[in-house]
């Protein structure tokens, strides 16, 4: 009681504040005051430290949640990119896969070691995924791709489907990590799906619902597996003609081209072949084998650099020493000569009766030659 009263007494209190203590009773009062102040300070320090510890724990927990959320966002975007890669593969090779064949390059080499289970590296090599795309996704997701046919392939009802799924389920403490799986599916924008504890026999997502296992010959996917799906009608690719397409387009209308058309096979037609190019027999031509027609519509071809009539027969004519060429000119030229590219070959000669009076007659046949046209040899 005396100590408390001493603390309340003005002189002692003033001495406690000023520090000028000279009397033993004053010293006892100062010790009591100082002890009480120290106790209050320790309580305040303990409260402050507790608040700081709570703030540190809260900040650390928030940081961990932010790290998990960032990983889930990255995993969801990674699954979206995988889906786009599968869609690109099916758009390019869906028709071939629908036939049960393996996609191949221009030299016939297969593009995938297993066309119904390509790897991420193979998808990158074929341009379906970016070259910098990571082969292992965020959260250590290792993808496996499976492609299968459904709906009666080959045929109009044939479908080709593909999924990319995690090789191992997403677990925490040995149980499916529902929070992380939900974050990944949310980040995938509805493209992803998972096998849940509520329906372990289904692979479900916002955009698909497949049985588990989804494809024949597959083992059931464990609970906690995440996946994306892509699919298309195998016949969808037949709506478009692609470069180096092996299918017959079977056009029903006309086909026009501004440039040259070349074919390594033969050309067939059930109608007539019309040549628009014209040439003059005997004139030079650019390339052997070209075809054209003259002004009267007769077929010409380029032989030895000269436009000449088609075929190996260039007509025939006869020449008489008395009547000249008036009796039997060559019907192809109208004269007693051969068309360009042909030469005259004597096949007959003689006269009737007094040949000196009626003339000597020589008959010629025009045969193809490597030289320009030659008329009747001189007498």
Q: What is the pLDDT of residues 136-180, one digit of tens each?
A: 999 889 999 999 998 888 887 889 999 999 999 999 999 999 999
Query: 269-278: long-range contacts at Cβ-Cβ below 8 A with a sequence spacing of 24 or more?
Result: 275/299
pLDDT the model gives residue 230: 94
pTM over 0.85: no
pLDDT the model gives residue 61: 61
pLDDT the model gives residue 234: 61
Determine the length of the chain: 379
Residue 325 is classified by DSSP as: E
pLDDT the model gives residue 17: 47
Q: Could you tell me the mean pLDDT of each successive run of 10 residues in the chain, 379 residues long?
A: 42 47 52 59 77 72 66 92 95 89 90 96 96 91 94 84 96 92 92 95 94 94 96 67 71 87 86 88 86 86 80 83 83 83 86 71 84 46
Residue 337 is classified by DSSP as: B
Q: In terms of Cα–Cα distance, which of 310, 303, 311, 313 is closest to 283? A: 303
pLDDT the model gives residue 378: 44
pLDDT the model gives residue 15: 47
Cα 155 to its chain centre, rounded Å, is 23
b/e burial code for range 163-189 (CB count within 10 A of at least 16 → b)? bbbbeebbeeeeebbeebbebbbebbe
SS3 content of the chain, % helix, strand, coil (to 5): 30, 25, 45
pLDDT the model gives residue 275: 85
Find all residues with CB under 8 Å of 325, minimum gap 6, and list them: 317, 319, 335, 336
pLDDT the model gives residue 294: 87
pLDDT the model gives residue 5: 42
Percent of the chain with pLDDT over 90: 36
Decide the pairing of beta strands 291-293 and 226-233: unpaired
pLDDT the model gives residue 81: 95
pLDDT the model gives residue 313: 78
Contact 303, 296 (CB under 8 A): no
């Amino acid at each position: 009681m005396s100590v408390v009263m001493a603390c309340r007494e003005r002189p002692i209190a003033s001495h406690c504040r000023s520090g000028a203590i000279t009397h033993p009773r004053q010293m006892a009062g100062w010790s009591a005051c100082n002890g009480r102040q120290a106790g209050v300070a320790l309580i305040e320090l303990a409260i402050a430290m507790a608040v700081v510890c709570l703030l540190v724990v809260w900040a650390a927990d928030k940081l961990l949640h932010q790290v998990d959320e960032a990983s889930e966002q990255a995993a969801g975007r990674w699954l979206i990119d995988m889906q786009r890669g599968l869609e690109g593969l099916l758009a390019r090779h869906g028709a071939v896969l629908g036939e049960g064949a393996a996609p191949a390059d221009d030299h016939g080499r297969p593009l995938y070691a297993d066309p119904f289970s390509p790897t991420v590296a193979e998808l990158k090599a074929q341009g379906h995924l970016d070259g910098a795309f990571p082969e292992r996704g965020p959260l250590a997701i290792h993808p496996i791709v499976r492609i299968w046919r459904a709906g009666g392939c080959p045929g109009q009802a044939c479908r080709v489907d593909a999924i990319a799924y995690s090789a191992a389920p997403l677990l925490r403490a040995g149980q499916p990590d529902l929070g992380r799986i939900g974050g990944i599916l949310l980040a995938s924008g509805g493209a992803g799906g998972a096998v849940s504890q509520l329906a372990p026999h289904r692979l479900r997502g916002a955009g698909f619902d497949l049985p588990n296992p989804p494809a024949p010959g597959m083992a059931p996917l464990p609970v906690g597996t995440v996946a994306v799906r892509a699919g298309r009608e195998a016949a969808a690719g037949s709506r478009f003609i692609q470069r180096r397409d092996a299918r017959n387009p079977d056009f029903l209308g006309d086909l026009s081209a501004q440039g040259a058309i070349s074919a390594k096979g033969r050309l067939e037609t059930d109608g007539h072949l019309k040549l628009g190019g014209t040439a003059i027999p005997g004139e030079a031509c650019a390339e052997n084998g070209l075809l054209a027609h003259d002004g009267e519509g007769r077929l010409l071809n380029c032989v030895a650099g000269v436009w000449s009539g088609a075929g190996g027969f260039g007509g025939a004519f006869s020449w008489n020493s008395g009547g000249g060429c008036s009796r039997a000119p060559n019907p192809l030229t109208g004269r007693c000569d051969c068309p360009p590219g042909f030469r005259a070959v004597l096949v007959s000669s003689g006269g009737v009766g007094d040949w000196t009076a009626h003339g000597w007659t020589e008959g010629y046949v025009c045969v193809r030659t490597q030289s320009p046209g030659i008329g009747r040899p001189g007498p």
